[in-house]
């Protein structure tokens, strides 16, 4: 194995490094010095830092570059982006009676126009995100269930995804990574086949919306703020 092959083994095994190189946000000299001990361990001999720098600069675009280009193409096809505020999150331990409670809550939700209400059931617990207009109904209907957590003052950003999103790896990662880099804490993620709902603190919706909007080319007429 030569220097180029050893570097490729290390870089391809770390998507974060490959991404940083691809985005030109990493200092190549610093990266070479950091990888030098690992390359020397693989090759079982000393390696010149200058040779590592040249090898990094000359390496061919890897799998990340190909995937990134595909994802960027999808980002330009994102549909409507809807912003909601006034949401609450409720988490309960799963139980034989929880499904009945969910059904009763949905009966209340359909009586109100355009109310936000979603259920996300895991192995041991279920999380419900609703408009805060349903908070009192949740407290009443789920009074006999074990509440694990509750949070008011939430908001959401809903993204309509193109149909081909299910065939391209990395779409969710691309969106969530961008939000993480902006310091936006994600409370919940609720997805359907062609729709992604990102739930954040209500105070973060003003930061999250332009970040997601910046991922695509969109006409102002397609923006649908909902309060």
Average pLDDT, the chain: 86
Confidence of residue 90 (pLDDT cuts 50, 70, 90): very high
- pLDDT of 212 reads 86
In contact, 195 and 159? CB cutoff 8 Å:
yes
CA distance 131 to 143: 18
pLDDT exceeds cutoff 90 at 201: yes
Q: In 23-97, where does DSSP find H-type helix?
A: 28-43, 49-58, 63-75
Q: How much of the chain exceeds pLDDT 90, in percent?
A: 52
Give, for 128, the enclosing helix (H) or strand (E). Answer: strand 125-131
Break the chain into its structural domains and give their ranges. 3-60, 81-225
Express each pLDDT in 124-158 by its tens digit: 999 999 999 999 999 999 999 999 999 999 999 99
pLDDT of 13 over the 90 cut? no
pLDDT of residue 222 exceeding 60, the answer is no
In tens, the pLDDT along 162-174 reads 888 888 888 888 8
Buried b or exposed e, range 173-200, using 16+ CB within 10 angstroms: ebbeebbeeeebeebbebeeeeebbbbb
The pLDDT assigned to 219 comes to 36
Judged against a pLDDT cut of 50, whether residue 207 lies above it is answered with yes
Residue 169 confidence (pLDDT) = 81
Contact between 87 and 158 (Cβ < 8 Å):
no
The CATH code of the domain at 81-225 is: 3.30.2130.10
Whole-prediction pTM? 0.69
Question: Dihedral of the CA atoms 39, 45, 49, 54 (nearest 10)?
Answer: -70
Residue appearing with tokens 């050893």: 6
**pLDDT tens readout for residues 28-65:** 999 999 999 999 999 999 999 999 999 988 877 655 55
pLDDT top residue among 186 and 218: 186
Q: Are 13 and 7 in contact (CB under 8 A)?
A: no
pLDDT band at 12 (very low <50, low <70, confident <90, very high): confident
pLDDT at 198 (0 to 100): 94
Burial status of residue 77 (CB atoms within 10 A of its CB: 0-12, 13-18, 19 or more): middle
């Amino acid at each position: 194995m030569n220097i180029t092959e050893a570097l490729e083994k290390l870089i391809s095994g770390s998507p974060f490094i490959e991404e940083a190189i691809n985005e030109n946000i990493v200092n190549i000299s610093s990266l070479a010095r950091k990888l030098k001990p690992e390359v020397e361990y693989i090759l079982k001999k000393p390696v010149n830092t200058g040779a590592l720098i040249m090898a990094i600069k000359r390496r061919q675009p890897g799998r990340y570059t190909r995937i990134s280009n595909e994802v960027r193409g999808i980002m330009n096809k994102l549909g409507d982006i809807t912003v909601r505020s006034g949401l609450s999150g409720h988490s309960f331990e799963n139980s034989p009676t929880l499904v009945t409670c969910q059904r009763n809550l949905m009966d209340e939700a359909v009586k109100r126009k355009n109310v936000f209400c979603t259920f996300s059931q895991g192995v041991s617990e279920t999380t419900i995100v609703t408009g805060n207009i349903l908070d009192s109904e949740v407290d009443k209907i789920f009074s006999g269930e074990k509440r694990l957590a509750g949070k008011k003052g939430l908001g959401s950003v809903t993204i309509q995804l193109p149909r081909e999103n299910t065939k391209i790896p990395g779409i969710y990662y691309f969106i969530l990574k961008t939000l993480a880099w902006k310091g936006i804490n994600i409370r919940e993620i609720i997805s359907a086949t062609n729709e992604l709902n990102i739930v954040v603190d209500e105070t973060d919706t003003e930061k999250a919306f332009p970040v997601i909007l910046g991922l695509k080319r969109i006409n102002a007429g397609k923006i649908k703020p909902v309060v």
